[in-house]
Structure 1
Amino acid sequence: MQKLTPAERSELRAEAHGLKPVVMIGESGLTESVLKEISASLDSHGLIKIRVAGDDREARVAMYEQITTDLGAHPVQHIGKLLVVYRPKVEALKERSSKAGKGMREVTIVKASASGTKRPSVTKVMIKGNERVTEGGTIKRAKPRQTSPKKGALGR
């Protein structure tokens, strides 16, 4: 793991100034579950602040060093009971993120010609998660849209 240059550390300190603490370490200290939470926060945010509840400075310094070594993070700043830690974000590319939209999928619809002697028509269509393609090639909702009984009574 490369060390941060003073310029990078200064830039990260400036960026962390406006952040609020994401993880708080209580009286029980740095437990396994707290380390998991810090790791998850580092994966999603990259730069986080951690608040330590204890008054013992040596214990805070020991926690700070343990966090940076165990999680492979860079120490940025330690002021009082606040610890600032940085680890580059993990780019977790989801398989569905490359699709056009959330819940959308591409479907190929093949319809036979009316006479049966010509080529079938092939169309590619994007359908939503709550839609389905029937045997005839039409798109239908999987469930009917919910209607309000109050609006139905008003004649809308």
Structure 2
Amino acid sequence: MPLNNEQKKQYKSIGHHLKPVLTVAENGLSEGVLAELERALNDHELIKIQLRLSEREERQAIVEELCAAARCELVQSIGKVALVYRRNPKANRQLSNISRFQG
């Protein structure tokens, strides 16, 4: 499943226009956050996550935990925003950010 550099480049350009659909704050990865992450990845495949945490190491640890829990791949992390991707073989073309922005 690892993305190659060409795919990452393409997904970064798609992700640039997306708004964060999930926010992780001081409470960390609660069941609600993980459930919403699962729903968002199933619907959209490529999503932006806002991390409202001040420490860089803490943000990095949360992103790694998120990716492991949701079996998704980190495309890019800049500051307090992470872009993650998980392919959905039965993706809804109207909801999937990949389908919508690729053509």
Relative contact order, higher structure (CA 8 A, sep 6+): 2
Match of 1:73 in 2: 72
Q: 1:92 to 1:85 in 2, by over 3 A?
A: closer
How far has the Cα of 1:91 moved from its partner? Answer: 1.5
8 Å Cα contact 2:42-2:91 kept in structure 1: no
Q: How many residues align?
A: 92
Q: Quick one: structure 1 residues 47 and 31, their matched pair in 2 at CA, closer, same or farther if it must change by over 3 Å?
A: same
Instruction: Name the structure 2 match of 1:12.
Output: 11
Identify the structure with the greater helix proportion: 2
- Match of 2:2, SS state, is coil
Name the larger-Rg structure.
Answer: 1
Aligned pair in 2 of structure 1 residues 77, 92: CA closer, same or farther (>3 Å)? closer
Distance 2:22 2:15 in 1: 14
Distance 1:63 1:54 in 2: 9
The answer for the alignment partner of 2:61 in structure 1 is: 62
Q: 1:89, CA displacement in angstroms?
A: 2.3
Instruction: Please report how far the alpha carbon of residue 30 of structure 1 lies from its aligned counterpart in structure 2 after TM superposition.
Output: 1.4
Encode CA deviations 1:20-68: one digit per residue, 9 max, x unaligned: 0000112211112101101100000000000011111111101111111
Report the TM-score when normalising by structure 1: 0.56
Q: Which runs of 4+ in 1 moved over 4 A?
A: none
Give 1:21's aligned residue: 20
Letter in 1 for 2:40: S
TM-score w.r.t. the length of structure 2 is 0.84
Task: State percent identity of aligned pairs.
Answer: 36
**Residue 54 and residue 24 in structure 1: after superposition, are their counterparts in 2 closer, same or farther (change >3 A)?**
same
Instruction: Give the number of the structure whose residues are more often strand, by fraction.
Output: 1
Q: Which residue matches 1:47?
A: 46
Looking at structure 1, the residues matched to 65 and 28 of structure 2 have their Cα atoms a distance apart, in angstroms, of 12
Alpha-carbon distance change, 27 to 76 in structure 1, aligned in 2, over 3 angstroms: same
Contact 2:24 2:49 in 1 (8 A): yes
